[in-house]
A = this chain, B = another copy of it.
């Protein structure tokens, strides 16, 4: 036996021991595609001393978070919980739990995040088929039904609020189509939850995911996830284990369900934050929050149009949470965004994928959807943008 009682330890290497000062990040007004600013009381909740993840008081808090998430999502789904990762982890959770190798998944791609769903489904062994629309358009029911008929998928995955384009997919009738053609409906609600009308149960959505840092006014770090009875039944009939341990809902269910069996150490403080964020949303009321987002977005849109700027998405498809504004000819969009960040402390986003270099993305989400912020943005575009004309050929 060679179990040395005292081991010789090497000397400590000081190469990476840097003498950094305390953190000194500035205040920013985050009006890009997210993260958005967090509500001050959410930040206070975040900084409470942690309690244990199996503490009876934490167990109560988990149930409160679940209940408030059900309200925000308008669902009775038992399996409604925040994944202990960001929105992309929750996105992957929907795929990992409900796709079995060899199954056909139809992804309706009309922007960057449709492509991400495609990549993920492919990694879980799905036979992935897509239908595509230009970045800035939405799908019609006829287009979706034609694809369902020809592809015969087990899951249709579609993005409600496409963060890369600013398009809101009209949802009326899609859930019924999926039942008719015997497939699950998987919905990306990352940029809609809290800010845009969203009805998981009424729309017959079987699987959905979102994030904490947009319509909920919480910092990024949690990925709300919900799974309806049809998806739950598909999960319970899987032939093999879910090929992802961390996101396995059959294990998570034992922790979040009545058994409270330890799975992983929950991100306790992030859950303090989202509980406060969801509480504030319930206090305001969904209808009021949706209306606030709509009014402020409309004010932003008409302001931009008054300045002679062009919106990328036709009005009837526009997201109240995220506006895509075309970069005028001759303007270096990146330089202008950097100027707003460095000289005015305001972050707006650039285009992604097909829209890179073509649009700015301006978010008015959660705590940031205020008339005052709309005025700030419009004033800056009015006074600063002219200086950037002719910066790009």
A-side residues, CB < 8 A to B, are: 1-10, 12-20, 22-23, 25-28, 30, 32, 34-35, 37-38, 41, 43-53, 55, 57-58, 61, 64, 67-68, 70-71, 74, 76, 84-89, 92, 116, 119-120, 122-124, 138, 140-142, 170-173, 197, 199, 201-202, 211, 213, 219-221, 241-247, 262-270, 272, 275-276, 279, 282-283, 285-287, 316-317, 341, 347, 352
Q: Are B268 and A219 closer than 8 Å at their CB atoms?
A: yes
With A20-B279, A202-B10, A265-B34 as known contacts, state yes or no: A4 contacts B170, CB within 8 Å.
Answer: yes
Q: Which 8 pairs between the two chains have the least Cβ-Cβ distance?
A: A221-B267, A47-B47, A16-B71, A88-B264, A16-B70, A5-B316, A219-B269, A10-B202
What separation, in Å, do the CA atoms of A171 and B74 have in the docked complex?
A: 53
Q: Taking the nearest CB of chain B, how far is it from the CB of A168, in angstroms?
A: 10
Q: Are B141 and A2 closer than 8 Å at their CB atoms?
A: yes
What separation, in Å, do the CA atoms of A20 and B53 have in the docked complex?
A: 20
What separation, in Å, do the CA atoms of A184 and B252 have in the docked complex?
A: 30
Oligomer: number of copies: 2
Q: Are B52 and A28 closer than 8 Å at their CB atoms?
A: yes
Q: Which residues of B contact A283 (CB under 8 A)?
A: 19
Q: List 25 A-B contacts (CB under 8 A).
A: A4-B172, A9-B197, A10-B199, A13-B74, A16-B68, A16-B71, A18-B282, A20-B68, A23-B276, A35-B50, A37-B49, A43-B47, A43-B49, A43-B269, A46-B46, A52-B347, A53-B220, A86-B264, A89-B264, A92-B244, A92-B245, A122-B241, A221-B267, A262-B352, A270-B270
> Which residue of B is nearest A139, CB measured?
B3
What separation, in Å, do the CA atoms of A232 and B69 have in the docked complex?
A: 40
- A10-B74, A34-B265, A221-B221 given; name 10 further pairs at CB < 8 Å: A2-B141, A3-B317, A17-B285, A18-B64, A18-B67, A18-B68, A25-B57, A28-B55, A55-B347, A84-B221
Q: Which residues of B contact A242 (CB under 8 A)?
A: 123
What separation, in Å, do the CA atoms of A158 and B170 have in the docked complex?
A: 51
> Which residue of B is nearest A31, CB measured?
B52
Q: Taking the nearest CB of chain B, how far is it from the CB of A142, in angstroms?
A: 6
Q: Taking the nearest CB of chain B, how far is it from the CB of A28, in angstroms?
A: 5
Q: Are B35 and A245 closer than 8 Å at their CB atoms?
A: no
Q: Taking the nearest CB of chain B, how far is it from the CB of A170, in angstroms?
A: 6
Q: Taking the nearest CB of chain B, how far is it from the CB of A322, in angstroms?
A: 14
